[in-house]
């Protein structure tokens, strides 16, 4: 797959499928280099199209307390 900016959802989906095929690339191989380049493009697309907003501070504290087994 040619490494180019992902502009559409279809290109993004195709890149994800190709990344899956490259996951077992041998270290130092051309496939590993392609995996690294393509993963950066996917990460950029996800940052732009699927941003993760920071949590509400109170919700984050309550969640962490719950994870620690502390009383609510």
How high is the pLDDT of residue 4? 83
Residue 72 lies in a domain: no
Return the pLDDT at 8.
Answer: 96
**Structural domain that includes position 55:** 9-67
* Number of domains forming the structure of the chain: 1
Residue 53 belongs to a domain? yes
The answer to the question of residue 4 being in a domain is no
Is residue 2 situated within a structural domain? Answer: no
- Measured CA to CA, the distance from residue 69 to residue 55 in angstroms comes to 20
Residue 23 within any structural domain of the chain? yes
Residue 72 has pLDDT above 60, yes or no: no
Query: Is there a contact between 61 and 71 (Cβ–Cβ < 8 Å)?
Result: no
**Quick check: is 3 in a domain?**
no
Average pLDDT (34-63) is: 95
Query: 2-47: per-residue pLDDT in tens?
Result: 668 999 999 999 999 999 999 999 999 999 999 999 999 999 999 9
């Amino acid at each position: 797959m040619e490494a180019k900016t992902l502009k559409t959802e279809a290109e993004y989906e195709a890149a994800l499928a190709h990344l899956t095929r490259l996951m077992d690339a041998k270290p130092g191989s051309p496939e590993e280099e392609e995996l690294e380049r393509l993963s950066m493009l996917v990460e950029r697309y996800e940052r732009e199209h699927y941003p993760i907003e920071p949590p509400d501070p109170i919700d984050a504290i309550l969640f962490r307390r719950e994870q620690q087994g502390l009383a609510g």
